[in-house]
Structures are given as structure tokens and as C-alpha cells.
Amino acid sequence: MQIQKYKYIIPALIIISVGTLAACSGGSPKKENDSPQVLTNVRSTKPDDITLTEAQMKNVGIEIGPIAQKNLDAVIKANGQLAVPPQNRADVSILSGGVISRISVLEGQQVKRGQVLATISNQDLIKIQQDYLAAKSNFTYVQAEFNRQRQLQDAGAGTGKSFQSAQATYNAEFSRIKAFESQLRQLNITPGRINNGNIVSGFPVVSPITGTVGKISANTGAFVQPGTSIMEVVDNSKIHCDLTVFEKDLMQVKLGQKVNFQLTNQGDMMITGKINGINKSFENESKGVIVHAEIDNRQHKNLIPGMYVTALISVGSHPVPAVPVEAVIRSGGRQYIYIVASEEAGPNKTSFAFKKAEVATGVMELGYIEIKPMTSLPANAKAALKGAFYLESKAEGGSDDD
């Protein structure tokens, strides 16, 4: 009975073993058929490469192409401030002391040249007007006497001494009157108004230029000394930029060169201009020279003296390796591009393997940026010119190629 029992158990074990082997051997061919050999070859280039097919690249907007040689402007970076020329900034001062009886403007107000800004009361002004009127009255007699002596001199009836005395008196009184008139005009008082007997106790302070009223440093009722500035007027229409260029870059800077300005504290607003002046002496001990650049402000942007700027001075162009700005990826404080590591053509599709290449960047112009690879790249290397951000996100998120 036992022999007959083992007779049925052994064949059953053999059948189970054969079935298990058959099942194991049947799975392997199916796996090879599911994964094309071409993709296996591409992925084997390097573990960190990213492999995509042409169809996948088209779907996500990736475009590849050679790293082109572009004529980009070489630039010198400089820092500076906006400023106005001295002739476009005026301190409003008074020539004669007195009490401010009226201030007619506010800070930030637009004014024109000759517009009244304030009125100063001065008792000494009354005496100047009195002396002027007295001199005018006395001059009438002096002029009549001079004319009489000249007529006698011409007729040969007078003496030379009397004519010379009358002439000297006439010249002295005439000069005195002109001096009073000059004083009155400097105080913005018309002498003709005084001749009609209209004596005034105050004089107006007028704007010397057209511009905007700046800080007003005096109040109504305050006594101000002669030569004291009570406010300023600034004309920003001729605003320019004063840049500091250091000695090592100075020989490359020339008149007429294009400058791009970035207002660092104004949302990185960009303006343009050109070099119109270069100082010939160093500033203190900084070994820097002030370079002046006029600004193209046809868009009438609100530019104010004292604004800080970063400037790029274009000093010439030369061919450099360049890619579109969007082809450069910034990550971890470094900059990269994605280059094509390998390309495999299969019977139904072509696959590309991409890898990172660290670069340094230089000049940026017209949508392109200069690149300087940190390691040598293969000859005729191709890079991802568009869609590099997708490759970066794929590299950070995994290597799923679905």
C-alpha cells in the first residue's frame, strides 16, 4: 500500500515543478517586448540623464538647436546717481535782509522763471527809494546847468573851467541815479514805478529758472539775513546720471557710447542714454572717475535727482556663444543649460537624452545671453533652447518618461 501511495505523489510533484518553471520562463520575453531596445540604450548613457521622445518634446514645447555665435555688446558695469546740471538747480536767495511777509508757493509746485515766490519787507528799501527820487530831482538842475555851460562853450562865451565843473557834476549824478536803479532792479522793483511816487515797503523774490519748487527752508514772519537761501527750484528736464567708472575700465569708455540704466529702487525700471562727458580727475581716493551720461526721457518718467542707478555701458560688440535667455536655468545659486547628451533613432521614434551643463553668463541683449561653459562641451553641441524649465522640473521630480 505504501509503495502504491508514493507512486501517485511523485508524478504530481514533477508536474507542479515543470509548471512553475514554465511560468517563470514565459514572463521574461514579455518584458523585453514591452521596452524597446532603443530607449534602453539612451538611458544607459548616464544615470542622471533625462530621455524624451520627439513626440514628448513637441507636447511640452522643447526645442533644441546649436549654441549660436551672436554679436552681443560688451559692457562695463557702473553705479551712480541721477543729478541735474548746476544751471538747472537754483537756490533762491535774497540780496537784502528783511522779514518774510508772504510765501506764494508750495513744495512740489511747478513755477516759471520770473514768477513771484515770496515777498520780503525791508525798511531800508524805503530809504533807497527816497535817495533815488532825490537824486532824480537834483539831476534835473544838474542837467540844465550842464546844457547851459555846453552852449556857452560852443559859442565861445563861457570859460573852460565852468564847463568842466558842470560836466563832472553831471556825470557823477547820472552815475548815482544808475546805481540806484540797478539796486532797485536787483530787488525786482521797476524804477519807473518809483518815478510815479509809488514807494513800496517790500520787494518780491522771483524764481531764477523754470522748474519745481524743492524744500522751503523759511516760514512767514521769519527774519532772513542777506544771502540766505529760503527755497530751491529744480528743473528736471535736463536730468542726467553721474556714474563712477574705475581705472581698470576707464580706457574703454568713450563719448557717445550707449548706456542702459536700471533704477535699483524703482522696481528695476529701465531707461537708456549715452555718454556725454568724462571727468579728467579721480574722485578722492576711490580711483574712480565720474562719467556723465544724458538720459533719453521722452516717456517723461518721474526721475528725481539722487535716485541710485546701475548702468551698463556698451563698449563694443564681438561674437560670443549665446542662447536664448529662457534656456538658462538658475538653481541653487548656479546657472545651467541642458545639452543633448545622445540621440538614438528607432524604427518608429527618435529619442534624445539631456544632461545639465553648468555655465557662467555674461552680456544679455535682444533676448540672448552670453554663456561661458564651466566644462568643455562636445563639438557642435546642441542645447534645449526652449522648454529648459520642463527638463529642470523633471530632473527635480524624478525620471518618469511617460
CB atoms within 10 A of CB 138: 14
Helix, strand, coil percent content, the chain, rounded in steps of 5: 35, 40, 30
Higher pLDDT, 5 or 197: 197
The grid cell for 51 is: 530621455
pLDDT at 40: 33
pLDDT at 145: 87
Question: Which helix (DSSP H) or strand (DSSP E) does residue 395 occupy?
Answer: helix 388-397
Q: pLDDT tens across 29-56, in order?
A: 444 344 333 333 333 345 457 888 888 8
Work out the pLDDT band at 24, boundaries 50, 70, 90. Answer: very low
pLDDT at 14: 39
Q: pLDDT tens across 374-390, in order?
A: 988 888 889 999 999 99
Residue 94 pLDDT > 50? yes
Work out the pLDDT band at 3, boundaries 50, 70, 90. Answer: very low
Of the options 2.40.50.100, 1.10.150.120, 3.40.190.10, 1.10.20.10, the CATH number for the domain spanning 89-234: 2.40.50.100
Cβ neighbours of residue 75 closer than 8 Å, sequence gap 6 or more:
260, 312, 313, 314, 315, 363
Indicate the class that CATH gives domain 76-86+235-314: mainly beta
Could you tell me where in the chain the CATH 2.40.30.170 domains are found? 76-86+235-314
Work out the pLDDT band at 158, boundaries 50, 70, 90. Answer: low
The type of residue at 278 is I
Nearest of 292, 269, 287, 286 to residue 84 by alpha carbon: 292
Higher pLDDT, 316 or 235: 235
pLDDT at 48: 59
Rounded distance between C-alpha atoms, residue 71 and residue 67, angstroms:
13
Percent of the chain with pLDDT over 90: 30
Mean pLDDT on 195-213: 87
Percent of the chain with pLDDT over 70: 85
Of the options 2.40.420.20, 3.10.580.10, 2.40.110.10, 3.40.190.10, the CATH number for the domain spanning 37-73+319-397: 2.40.420.20
Asked if 272 and 281 touch (Cβ cutoff 8 Å), the reply is: no
Could you tell me where in the chain the CATH 2.40.50.100 domains are found? 89-234
Rounded distance between C-alpha atoms, residue 375 and residue 354, angstroms:
16
Length of the chain: 402
Higher pLDDT, 336 or 190: 336
Nearest of 297, 102, 284, 124 to residue 205 by alpha carbon: 102
Work out the pLDDT band at 300, boundaries 50, 70, 90. Answer: low
Question: Which helix (DSSP H) or strand (DSSP E) does residue 39 occupy?
Answer: helix 37-43
Mean pLDDT on 330-356: 87
Mean pLDDT on 175-188: 89
pLDDT at 15: 41
pLDDT at 1: 43
pLDDT at 317: 74
pLDDT at 124: 84
Higher pLDDT, 398 or 196: 196
pLDDT at 286: 72
pLDDT at 316: 78
198-207, 345-354, 375-384 — which is least confidently predicted? 345-354
Work out the pLDDT band at 205, boundaries 50, 70, 90. Answer: very high
Could you tell me where in the chain the CATH 2.40.420.20 domains are found? 37-73+319-397
Residue 148 pLDDT > 60? yes
Work out the pLDDT band at 174, boundaries 50, 70, 90. Answer: very high
Q: pLDDT tens across 221-250, in order?
A: 999 998 889 999 999 888 899 999 998 888
Work out the pLDDT band at 116, boundaries 50, 70, 90. Answer: very high
Q: pLDDT tens across 78-87, in order?
A: 899 999 988 9
Asked if 98 and 224 touch (Cβ cutoff 8 Å), the reply is: yes
Work out the pLDDT band at 210, boundaries 50, 70, 90. Answer: very high
